[in-house]
Amino acid sequence: MFSHLLPEFLVERRSDRCIKCRVCERQCPNGVHHYDTELDLMFSDESPCVGCQRCVVFCPTNALSVYPHPTTYRPNASWTREKLQDLKKQAETGGVILTGSGNDKPYRIYWDHLVLNASQVTNPSIDPLREPMELRTYLGRKPDTLEVEVCGDKVSITSRLSPNVPVETPILFSAMSYGAISYQAFVSLAMAAKEFGTLFNTGEGGLPREMREKFGQNAIVQCASGRFGVDPEYLNSAAVVEIKIGQGAKPGIGGHLPGEKVAANIALTRMIPEGTDALSPAPQHDIYSIEDLSMLIYALKEATNYEKPVSVKIAAVHNVAAIASGIVRAGADIVAIDGLRGGTGAAPKAIRDNVGIPIELALAAVDRRLREEGIRHKCSIIAASGVRCSADVIKAIALGADAVYIGSAALVAMGCTLCQKCYTGKCAWGICTQDPYLTRRLNPEIASQRLVNLLRGWSHEIKEMLGGMGINAIESLRGNREHLRGVGLEGWELDVLGVKGAGE
Amino acid sequence: MRSQISERYLPEKDSQACGLFGVMNTTGERFGGEMAINAMINMKVRGNGLGGGFAIYGLYPEYKDYYALHIMFERHQLGAKEIVDEFLADHFHVVYDEEIPTNKKATVLNPPVVWRYFVSPRQYMEEGNNLSDDEFVVEKVMYINTRIDGAYVFSSGKDMGVFKGVGFPEEIADYFMLDRLYKGYIWTAHSRFPTNTPGWWGGAHPFSILDWTVVHNGEISSYGTNRRYLEMFGYYCTLYTDTEVMAYAVDLLMRRQGLPIEVVSRIFAAPMWDIIEHMEPERRELYKTLRMAYAPLLMNGPFTVIVAHHNEMFGLTDRIRLRPITAAAAGDFVFLSSEEASIRAVAPRLDLAWTPPGGEPVVARLHTKDHLASLARAV
């Protein structure tokens, strides 16, 4: 069928600069660039271009520019170019439109409508370069009371404590499975988490055996609906075990890793035959209710001898607060909430762009509900989706999170440009692909250094902001709405966030 | 339907700076108010006349088995007294009550009527109520403070009482004739410098619940976190001051959970993780666990606090020592103050005076020399 689609990007080559080195041709996995040996000229076919900017970055003479294609339909506020293109695509294929990374629609980003406080006069601000400033956070269930025995000068704790896991900064790497991302990208996340003293999340694709000893203590291992790679050694090698119920980018639906990506090592890690599709069902088929969840939580605790916190990750949906409360009562030590802008390797676009609620509102609602029920201390809350900078992290903590997960931000640090073509398996940056020609591009030594730099930079900024507020330990900001004010928000939104308007 | 009004509508917290003073006779001998009053006069610049108050222990030896309720009633809402009287009659045996005598010539603005009641709880068996007497009293005090408009309980402990109001401390002392009428073995005092002007007698310090009193100087940056945590344990802050949070936190940890001050001070002013790392294994585990479990009760930001209850008075400053405290001893007397000068003004011959470091409590206990423990670690 002849395609009616317009190209998405325009590739412009300045012939006065091009030296025909063919770097762009080698770098592009989509076949945009082509060298004609007879004419000794470089040509471009822009129609397959995804705008990932790999060729632009690698062109040694800055001869290339890639930008959104100026060709448009008659402008129409309702029937936008994107809507028309999607519609035509479906008319040509009859399929579900797939996409990658997070929701890119202009839903209100509450982070950008919240401002932070700082000390003036009545309370000194603290300079983190001169005074200690503490970001260490313990994830897990805290006791109602601590029983102690005092014997002269000696105080000893007699309460039984639940396991808690420390992180040196309240920033964790979100679940991205080996299979969805390349081995190199996966190892880079693990290396960075280990170096900085935080955690990475294996996603549902298992933890390769050779990584367990070295990186297990920095791993959150997932037990998801497909149960890929779950065995006792996997669970016991980790710091935290996470039950994945849902994902912000695609609440209510499962996953599908196509067989062509299931190479030998992925097959071994996931414990499935090589070349078979790895299908994750939409629900966990042994969890159709909250009591079923409780049974799985305790099954995992039994399997790990009650030595590891168990986390439950859910997508932020309409009644997220009640669900989170049920999860804590079911025995979870950590509740991870993934909001509307959470990323994905592949999801139906209709779901990614339309299902779920923003994390800021979900987080505030969950924190409030758990406090009202007197169980907030029984779990840690990890907030995920659309955390783009240190200010987003600190605002999330003031709204009640113990820590945040970053996924997209970590990928961007490694090279990702959010071209949203993760599902094609042709990531030019070597992140979201299993093609050895492409994955070789990602050097884990360098990529992990970029990730560590990111964590370091953000942590410094968080310390500066905390110090400005006159706080020298992150736990004193947790849920502390007094340090937030809303700008440009409506009354109901401020109510849900529990935040006053600026000047109030 | 929202079960509770959004936090968005909670009043803004009151912020303030202050002068503190505490003096205790460790043999338990009762003495008059001159030292406390004169020390506050010496520190006059630390207040601005918008609040002063005193807590006295060993105040009512003749009624020491009864809860002494000091309750204020706004003059324009004297109907509140009838409601309170009826409420008290329903829930307590009131053995004696009277208006607290005042000096009519004193220069204070707009004083409320302050009444004292000596009561014992009247718990009905049929209610299936198995609260301890203390819990019962706390519950009733919370009821009066939150539900009865125009009434506010200054203090509710046995053999102790709080006198406070709007004015400089010496004016409040003059109004209640503290120097002439009362004796005690602990006196704590507070002078207030609020950055806003509530002008309400109940808002002055000390804050008190049962026989616990707190005088506090500082602005707690972690207020929101602390308040939310305390709410989970049934403490609802109605005054929106840091001191209230401090008082409830003390009550939760020390009275309800029975932790000694040496432990509680490590919760309010926790050592840095770097310091914990370098402790010997047993202490490291203790401090790590305390910090982890009670992270929401870390009092962050500048504060100095003097807490008293029967037999004990202690002072504590925040972990990076952003507000001052000085301790001193002379004979059987132990002093705590925002300023050394005020101690020397009232007790020129001191045996010892020292500056406790941040997070290090100075604990004065009856019939002990526990206060000297902090001396070894003094700055």
Q: What CATH code is carried by the domain that includes residue B147?
A: 3.60.20.10
- Residue-wise pLDDT tens digits, B256-289: 888 888 889 999 999 999 999 999 999 999 999 9
* Interface test mutation site (partner A, options B223, B228, B261, B365, max chain A beta carbons within 10 A): B228
B60: its two tokens = 């009512």
Task: Give the span between the Cα atoms of A255 and A249, in whole angstroms.
Answer: 11
Q: Is A421 left (phi over 0), alpha (psi -120 to 50) or beta?
A: alpha
B24: its two tokens = 């205790």
Nearest to B295 among A121, A126, A475 (CB): A475
Q: A158 in contact with B at a CB cutoff of 8 Å?
A: no
Q: Which residues of chain A have pLDDT under 50?
A: none
Residues contacting residue A175 through CB under 8 Å, at least 6 positions apart: A201, A202, A203, A204, A220, A222, A242, A244, A247, A313, A405, A407
- The C-alpha of A361 sits at a distance from chain B's nearest C-alpha, in angstroms, of 13
- The C-alpha of B269 sits at a distance from chain A's nearest C-alpha, in angstroms, of 11
Angstrom CA distances, A238 to A27, A120, A215, A271, B289, stand at 37, 44, 8, 18, 22
SS percent in chain B: helix, strand, coil, step 5: 35, 30, 35
* Vertex B174: Cα angle to B172 and B176 (nearest 5): 70
pLDDT for residue A288? 94
The residue in chain A having the minimum alpha-carbon distance to the alpha carbon of residue B282 is A156
How does DSSP classify residue B252? I
Report the mean per-residue pLDDT for chain B.
90
* Interface test mutation site (partner B, options A127, A139, A475, max chain B beta carbons within 10 A): A475
Which chain B residues have a beta carbon less than 8 Å from that of A496?
A: 6
**In 3D, which of A476, A379, A404 has the Cα closest to residue A142?**
A379
**In 3D, which of A291, A285, A267 has the Cα closest to residue A223?**
A285
Give the relative orientation of helices A290-303 and A320-329 as an angle to the nearest 10 degrees: 40
pLDDT for residue B15? 64
Q: What is the number of domains present in chain B? A: 1
Residue B38 located in a structural domain: yes
Q: A155 in contact with B at a CB cutoff of 8 Å?
A: yes
* Interface test mutation site (partner B, options A113, A117, A123, max chain B beta carbons within 10 A): A123
- Report whether A427 belongs to an annotated binding site: no
- Domain of B68, in residue numbers: 15-377
Residue B4 located in a structural domain: no
Which chain B residues have a beta carbon less than 8 Å from that of A395?
A: none
> Which 418-477 residues of chain A touch chain B by CB within 8 A?
469-473, 475-477
Residue B265 located in a structural domain: yes
- Residue-wise pLDDT tens digits, B27-80: 999 999 999 999 999 999 998 888 899 999 999 999 999 999 999 999 888 899
- B292 to A471: CB separation less than 8 angstroms, yes or no: no
- B293 to A372: CB separation less than 8 angstroms, yes or no: no
The residue in chain A having the minimum alpha-carbon distance to the alpha carbon of residue B295 is A475
CB contact at 8 A, A176 and A186: yes
Residue B122 located in a structural domain: yes
**In 3D, which of A444, A352, A430 has the Cα closest to residue A181?**
A430
Residue B7 located in a structural domain: no
pLDDT band with cut points at 50, 70 and 90 for residue B125: low
- Report whether A18 belongs to an annotated binding site: yes
* Interface test mutation site (partner B, options A164, A372, A480, max chain B beta carbons within 10 A): A480
> Which 324-383 residues of chain A touch chain B by CB within 8 A?
368, 371-372, 374-377
- Annotated active-site positions of B, please? 18
pLDDT for residue B238? 73
**In 3D, which of A243, A244, A245 has the Cα closest to residue A304?**
A243
Task: Give the span between the Cα atoms of A456 and A473, in whole angstroms.
Answer: 17
The residue in chain B having the minimum alpha-carbon distance to the alpha carbon of residue A367 is B228
- Residue-wise pLDDT tens digits, A413-429: 999 999 999 999 999 99
Domains of chain A, start order = 9-95 (3.30.70.20), 137-501 (3.20.20.70)
Task: Give the span between the Cα atoms of A181 and A205, in whole angstroms.
Answer: 10
Q: In A128-179, where does DSSP find H-type helix?
A: none
pLDDT for residue B256? 86
Which chain B residues have a beta carbon less than 8 Å from that of A146?
A: 257, 259, 289-290, 293-294
pLDDT band with cut points at 50, 70 and 90 for residue B83: very high
Sign for the CA dihedral angle at B268, B272, B275, B279 comes to positive
pLDDT for residue B203? 82
- A123 to B296: CB separation less than 8 angstroms, yes or no: no
pLDDT for residue B126? 52
| Residue whose pair of structure tokens reads 């030590």 in the numeric block | A333
DSSP B299-334: --SSEEEEEEETTEEEEEE-TT--S--EEEEETTEE
**In 3D, which of A363, A370, A366, A365 has the Cα closest to residue A384?**
A363
- The C-alpha of A498 sits at a distance from chain B's nearest C-alpha, in angstroms, of 5
b or e along A311-345 (b: 16 or more beta carbons within 10 Å of the residue's beta carbon)?
bbbbbbbeebbebbbbbbebbbbbbbbbbbbbbbb
Which chain B residues have a beta carbon less than 8 Å from that of A494?
A: 6, 8
- The C-alpha of B216 sits at a distance from chain A's nearest C-alpha, in angstroms, of 14
Task: Compute the count of residue pairs across chains A and B with CB atoms less than 8 Å apart.
Answer: 133
Residue B5 located in a structural domain: no
pTM: 0.92
- B233 to A374: CB separation less than 8 angstroms, yes or no: yes
Task: Give the span between the Cα atoms of A465 and A391, in whole angstroms.
Answer: 8
Residue B10 located in a structural domain: no
CB contact at 8 A, A63 and A326: no
> Which 111-140 residues of chain A touch chain B by CB within 8 A?
119, 121-124, 126, 131-132, 134, 136, 138
Phi then psi dihedrals of residue B246, to 5 deg: -65, -45
| ipTM surpasses 0.95 | no
Distance from CA of residue B265 to its chain's centroid?
A: 15
pLDDT higher than threshold 80 for residue B86 = yes
Task: Give the span between the Cα atoms of A140 and A382, in whole angstroms.
Answer: 11
Nearest to A136 among B6, B7, B273 (CB): B273
Residues contacting residue A138 through CB under 8 Å, at least 6 positions apart: A164, A165, A166, A380, B292, B295
pLDDT band with cut points at 50, 70 and 90 for residue B219: confident
Residue B223 located in a structural domain: yes
- Report whether A432 belongs to an annotated binding site: no
pLDDT for residue B2? 37
- B286 to A155: CB separation less than 8 angstroms, yes or no: yes
